[in-house]
Structure 1
Amino acid sequence: MYNQDQTYKVIVMGGSAGSFSVVSHILAGINPEFKIPIVLCLHRLKHVRSGLVEGLSLKSVIPVVEPNDKAKLRPNTVYLAPSNYHLFLELDGSIALSTEESFNHSRPSIDYTLSSAAYAFRDRVLGILLTGANKDGARGIKEIADNKGFTIVQDPKSCDIDTMPRSALQLFQPDLVLDPQQILEFLNALPQ
């Protein structure tokens, strides 16, 4: 159950096919003073190094960056996992980038990012899994729930491709199942 007084140290959001429009909607409507760092792990083409951060930046009311290895999370910033790198969150609130083998046919792997957030931040992480065409992210968001973090899965009825959220829903019951507008409203209501 949601505790309205709970504050989160990080929000981690994963998505694949169809997620660009959902993330763009959220970042365009989020409170410009939103303080909690947001880490995005989106499946992207390995050979295309630019374009996604620029596209999201055009919509977002808060800065969107591709972090360097060992960058520290800062408030009021969106961190996008770089193309062809896994993104892990560390216990000290920094980001670790890795070129380990693909996982679930993906690098960056949503499972890796969400699982590392579950380990590093436990009950102080809010995990969100969006539309996508494979099961990457389902285990990671369950790990957030297992570590007492808060979990939101996009309502499959609102997804372009619902494989990713349905895979998560087969593993566990998240705290909330919401459409993109409801996710935005939930984020904007969080204590900062």
Structure 2
Amino acid sequence: MPTTDRYPLQFPVVALVTSAGGLEALTEVLAPLPAGLAAAVLVSQHSSPEHPSRLAAILDQRTALPVRDARNNDPLVTGTVLIAPPARHLLVTSQARLGLIDTGALPPARPSADLLLATLAVTCGPRALAVVLTGRGSDAQAGIRAVSHCGGTVYAQDATTSAHYGMPGAAIDTTLVDQILALPDIAPAILAHVENHQPPP
């Protein structure tokens, strides 16, 4: 297991990745999280690059955490939710900042959960938590392999509470998911992860 302090990000980062049915799932996960959460939260939901997204504005009304679209070169900060904007892949850079790159044409899925999770894995190591929520397709499989390889943690939504089981099911098929959780159980599990992965005093 890699040691935590070799990684540039010294606080937990939670990446919520989803596709179809994601708004309801994201609402249920984010609503119970407290203001001042001692972790950064990143959200990537597949969306059309041709239309503006109101995801950040909607979620900002449904959680105590501030929510906004990510901007290129944003620093990662605790207690804030940053959303991947349409037509841009969201990356975590070696300077522990966010990078946005154009998605180009399909495939791959966009924004790509795989790209987000793989870059998060190599900058956050054991403090990375990938949460695969409802969605079609298999995006996130490669990303969770990277998270697991770097000592991070992976949760997946269960079949019963997923509107679409493609993404969670594909994640579970890797056999690298640490916990398979019903949707109402994900927020408490995130809080436990954050509590257990704080930097040393």
Q: Secondary structure at the match of 1:96?
A: strand
1:82 counterpart (60, 80, 85): 85
Paired residue for 1:188, among 180, 186, 191? 191
| Stretches of structure 2 lacking an aligned partner (at least 5 in a row) | 1-9
Equivalence for 1:179: 182
- State the match for 2:30 in structure 1: 27
Aligned equivalent of 1:4: none
Following superposition, the deviation at residue 100 of structure 1 comes to 4.2
The answer as to 2:87 corresponding to 1:99 is no
Q: Given the superposition, is the C-alpha separation of residues 171 and 103 from structure 1 closer, same or farther in structure 2, using an over 3 Å criterion?
A: farther
Summarize the Cα distance change of 1:77–1:71 in structure 2 as closer, same or farther, 3 Å threshold: same
TM-score (norm 1): 0.90
- Deviation, 1:104, is 4.5
Alignment map for 1:1-192 (pairs within 5 Å)? 8-102=11-105, 104-189=107-192, 190-191=194-195
**CA-based RMSD:** 1.6
Contact 1:31 1:188 in 2 (8 A): no
Structure 1 residue 180 displacement after superposition: 1.4
Give secondary structure in 2 for the equivalent of 1:156.
coil
The answer to whether the 8 Å contact 1:158/1:180 transfers is yes
CA 151–142 in structure 1, closer or farther in 2 if over 3 Å, else same: same
> In 1, are the aligned partners of 2:103 and 2:111 still within 8 Å (CA)?
no
2:152 is matched by which residue type in structure 1? G
Q: Indicate the percent of aligned positions where both proteins have the same amino acid.
A: 24
Most deviating of 180-189 and 12-21 = 180-189
Aligned residues: 186
Q: How much does 1:122 deviate?
A: 1.6
Distance 1:104 1:14, change over 3 A: farther
SS of 1:21's equivalent in the other structure is: helix
Q: Which amino acid in structure 1 is aligned with residue 21 of structure 2?
A: G
Distance of 2:103 and 2:46 partners within structure 1: 16
Rounded Cα–Cα distance in structure 2 between residues aligned with 1:49 and 1:86: 15
2:5 equivalent in structure 1:
none
